[in-house]
Amino acid sequence: MLPVPSTIAPPTNALRSFSFGGGVQSMAALVLAARGDLDYRTFLFAHVGEDSENPATLTYLDRYAKPFAQAHGIELTTLHRVMVRSKETRTLYSEITREGSKALKIPVRFKNGAPGKRACTHDYKIQSIARELKRRGATEQAPARVGIGISLDEIHRANERKAEKHERIDYPLLRLGLRRIDCARVIREAGLPVPPKSSCWFCPFKRPETWHEMRRTEPELFERACQLEDYLNVRQAGLGKNAVYLTQFGRPLRQAIPDGVDPLFDLDDDADGLCDSGHCMT
Boundaries of every domain in the chain: 16-256
Cα 278-32-157 angle, rounded to 5 deg:
15
Which neighbouring-strand residues pair with 167?
144
Neighbours of 85 (CB within 10 A): 5
Model confidence band, residue 256 (pLDDT cutoffs 50, 70, 90): very high
Determine the residue type at 46: A
The yes-or-no verdict on residue 272 having pLDDT over 80 is no
The yes-or-no verdict on residue 6 having pLDDT over 90 is no
* CA 157 – CA 262 distance, rounded (Å): 29
Count of CA atoms in the C-beta half-sphere (13 A) of 73: 3
Going by CATH, does the domain composed of 16-256 fall within 3.40.50? yes
The yes-or-no verdict on residue 9 having pLDDT over 50 is no
Determine the residue type at 276: D
What's the pLDDT at 222?
97
- Please give the model's pTM, rounded to 2 decimal places: 0.88
What's the pLDDT at 45?
98
Query: Mind listing the pLDDT tens digit for each residue in 99-125?
Result: 888 889 999 999 999 998 889 999 999
- Percent of the chain whose predicted confidence (pLDDT) is above 90: 76
Of 13-17, 103-107, 262-266, least confident by mean pLDDT is 262-266
Q: Do 34 and 189 meet the contact criterion of CB atoms below 8 Å apart?
A: no
Mean pLDDT (the chain, rounded)? 89
Which neighbouring-strand residues pair with 80?
47
Q: How far is CA 249 from the centre of its chain?
A: 23
Q: How far is CA 23 from the centre of its chain?
A: 8
